[in-house]
A and B are shown apart, each in its own frame.
Chain A
Amino acid sequence: MKQHILHVESLRKDFNRRTVFSDISFEIRSGQSIAITGKNGSGKSTLAKILSGVLSPTSGKVLLECGGSEIPARERHEHIGFVSPYLQLYDEFSALENLRLCASLRGIQYEDFQGDALLDLVDLSSRKNDPVRIYSSGMKQRLKYAFALLHRPYILILDEPTANLDSEGIEMATMFMKTQCDQGILIIATNDKDDLRHVDTAISVEKGRGR
């Protein structure tokens, strides 16, 4: 597998006149993991969104390198899986339909057995044909893991990875984090001490640089 490197250089994000964070720089490569920490409102989720490419920084840049060549920003989403409490899936569709949709929009080959296997992994296979609107918040969080892992991303970004999950769900999330650490890059945004045990290093958005 090709070596992936995520370079983050002097990131700064302002909302109107308020600076959320500034001077965030770090580098992370395949097999490494990092946690983004900071108080509520310090910009952990904002940084996670910038890293995943859905939000532009005010200044600074995020570069993703694969096997020595840079991946264009417009293709970065193909390499990233993202789980977050504020990520909403289409609740008029079932879990299986959401995964089909995900594969179709990502332009990847998909057969229903792949979706079935993933839903089995997150323990949702018995409810796979129910519309997502009747799911509990914990079930929705489990589905988000299936959604993030469907395209086998090199980088997995988890914002509050264990939010809304029960003890079995937390075990499942821990298993995903460990697997990702072995196979690619793991980035988590959290203040939970248990989650921090799974990463190599941590960066505080209040301080700016990794420790």
Chain B
Amino acid sequence: MKHWIRATLGVFLKDMKSELRTRYALNALIMFVIITLSMILFSFGNEIAPQFVLSGILWIIIFFAAMSGLSRTFVSEEERGTVLTLQLLTHSSSVFFGKLLLNILLSCVINTLIVVLYLLLISNFTIQTWSIFLLILLLGSLGLASGATIVAAIVAKANTKGTLYPVLAFPILLPLLIAVISGTQMAVEGASFASAGGLLQFLFSYLIVFTTLPYLLFDYIWKE
């Protein structure tokens, strides 16, 4: 177990160090967020969009930001030809959880940046129930990272990675997106924390399923 944790942390630290040196994913994510928010601001002009539309737009930005950045963890290994190296060094589950940890970190950092900029720039978007919103944001970010990581491992083997990634990820992430958009609408409308219990349970279950299922399937994806 100690060996496994050490190897998993080794993969995570290697990827983080590599990311800080090469900025493969981080630059793409930050540029995407800035450009998308600028486009939304231009398209709104002086119009005031309803709160429920703004909740949806927030998660659309988060979804496509994840699509532009979270695949890099596996795609960069394929492109550089280092998959074989990782396969030789450690067990597949350490690779999966190491990559998942990095995607969770990236997802949390970038989603926090998106939310802060969104709250500052979109004047009509105000949160009434912060407890619901923060939990939805946390569980949404974790679920997004889990779903996106296993899809990234699958598409990294394909020739048309860029196109395939959002196409494959969308059906997997759709239940999560519907839940987080509903949860954000409740937070914006000022619903009580108790009324969001069902949604939070669903998001927690989604997170458990999309962490354990990829763990069981990953060895096959990684070796073939």
Contact = CB atoms under 8 A, between A and B. Distances in A.
Given A88-B81, A90-B18, A92-B21, A104 B7 contact: yes
Given A82-B88, A106-B89, A89 B11 contact: no
Contact of B223 (A56, A80, A91): A56
Chain A CB within 10 Å, residue with most, of B4, B9, B84: B84
Interface string B80-103: 111011111111001000000000
A106 B223 CA distance: 18
B14 interface: yes
Given A86-B81, A89-B82, A90-B82, A52 B10 contact: no
B206 to A, nearest CB: 28
Interface string B55-98: 00000000000000000000000001110111111110010000
Per CB-CB distance, the 4 closest pairs between chain A and chain B, nearest first, are A104-B10, A107-B3, A88-B81, A105-B89
A28 to B, nearest CB: 19
Instruction: For chain A, give the interface size range.
Output: 20 to 34
A56 B13 contact: no
A107 B5 CA distance: 9
Interface string B86-129: 11111100100000000000000000000000000000000000
Given A77-B90, A88-B80, A101 B223 contact: no
A101 B14 contact: yes
Contact of B90 (A55, A88, A106): A106
B88 A52 contact: yes
Interface string B135-159: 0000000000000000000000000
B6 interface: yes
Secondary structure class of chain B's binding surface, majority of residues: helix
B223 A55 contact: yes
A92 B223 contact: no
Contacts of A105: 7, 10-11, 14, 86, 89-90, 94
Given A91-B80, A104-B9, A106-B7, 9 more contacts: A77-B87, A77-B88, A86-B81, A88-B84, A90-B82, A102-B89, A104-B6, A105-B10, A106-B89
Contacts of B21: 92
Nearest to B87: A54
B224 interface: yes
A56 B9 CA distance: 26
B201 interface: no
Interface string A72-102: 0010010010101011111111000000011
B22 interface: yes
Contacts of A91: 80
Interface in A97-150: 101-102, 104-107
A54 B18 CA distance: 23
A113 to B, nearest CB: 20
